Amino acid sequence: MTTQRPRVAVIGTGGTMSSVGRHPLDLIEYPDTGIKLQVDELIERFPIVHEVADVVPIRFQAVGSTQIGPKDWLDLLKIIHDAAAQDPAIDGFVVTHGTATTEETAWFLGLAAKVEQPIVVVGAQRPSSGLGTDAGINLVNAIRTAGSPAARGMGALVVLNDEIQSAREVTKTSTLRQQTFRSPDFGILGHADADAVAFYRKPLRRHMPDTEFDVAGLDALPRVDIAYAYAGVDGVAVDAYVAAGAKGIVTAGFAPGSTSPAETDALDRAVAAGVVVVQSTRAGSGRVTQRANLSSHGFVAADNLNPQKARILLMLALTVTQDRKEIERIFATY
């Protein structure tokens, strides 16, 4: 008896996974070649993917992930929604992506996508041309995970290094190592091993497709900037962001969630000007709580979201409300 293979759409955005270097040991300078494979070309390089799924390649772009931002997220989301509507037989989606901003694209999709199928974002730490590249096995495991019935209801996922991580929790922690992606507070969701895709826990925070964020028809998201705290920081960056038209500011503050007096003064001015301020921390893990001091300034606590994740949630929150109490609720929900 043969088991029907899942049907998985693979959407390409580029990144290290799609890159081709000058030599098998070109593991660092490869971005300078400018050679990046389109997703169908990447799949041709690793044809074994056809043994684990009925693969549907969808070209989007082939760029480094430092080039990817909110406009690309909106375009990518439309591609996913259109593909799901046009091909109901699709069991899951994989997005190939550079690792620099993998966690941000994945978290946006985990908040904004309106499809039941799993969405898995995958990248590689070594180019597809490199000796010992992780591109092939990561791609295979992402496709297997996206096609697994067990992945349904898990929100958007990130798969590298045989590990399945929640888009909400995962972050890149090392520049070059293959075990770079970590979920600091709570750990991985499961493994994509040779014999099975195995989950061991489920995210409890609200996630796709059951969210209040509907960005269909939008061609931009509200501007939200991140102000990084350091010893002696003043309010220059905050004032500049407000002048540039920021609708929200996330502060990557000192742990467990505070800023210098001068930066706090600037953030107070921002709040008075109608800008929503969310207090996160540069620590990399742990909660920022909605303590009385934050509330007295009109700041919203980011919970355990790192600054780049808090920024995305605030951008989406601002598409539905500017009420601080409602935004506090959103940060306590997602």
Query: Residue 251 and residue 308: Cα distance in Å, rounded?
Result: 10
User: What percentage of residues in the chain have a pLDDT greater than 90?
Assistant: 98
Write down all domains in the chain, each with its CATH number in brackets: 7-199 (3.40.50.1170), 224-333 (3.40.50.40)
pLDDT at 174: 96
User: What pLDDT band is residue 198 in, cutting at 50, 70 and 90?
Assistant: very high
CA-wise closest residue to 309 among 156, 164, 154, 105: 105
pLDDT tens per residue across span 79-117: 999 999 999 999 999 999 999 999 999 999 999 999 999
pLDDT for 2 beyond 80? no
CA-wise closest residue to 252 among 271, 224, 272, 216: 224
pLDDT at 3: 66
Say how far residue 292 (Cα) sits from the centre of its chain: 31
Q: ∠ CA 187-173-64 to the nearest 5 degrees?
A: 120
pLDDT for 189 beyond 70? yes
Query: Residue 98 and residue 102: Cα distance in Å, rounded?
Result: 6
Look up tokens 């799949």; give the residue: 43
pLDDT tens per residue across span 18-77: 999 999 999 999 999 989 999 999 999 999 999 999 999 999 999 999 999 999 999 999
User: What pLDDT band is residue 325 in, cutting at 50, 70 and 90?
Assistant: very high
- Catalytic residues, by residue number, are 16
**Residues β-bridged to residue 273:** none
User: What pLDDT band is residue 1 in, cutting at 50, 70 and 90?
Assistant: very low
176 in Cβ contact with 84 (< 8 Å): no
Mean pLDDT of the chain: 97
CA distances from 204 to 80, 164, 237 (A): 24, 16, 35
131 in Cβ contact with 166 (< 8 Å): no
* Residues in CB range of 179: below 8 A, 6 or more apart: 161
DSSP 8-state code for residue 2: P
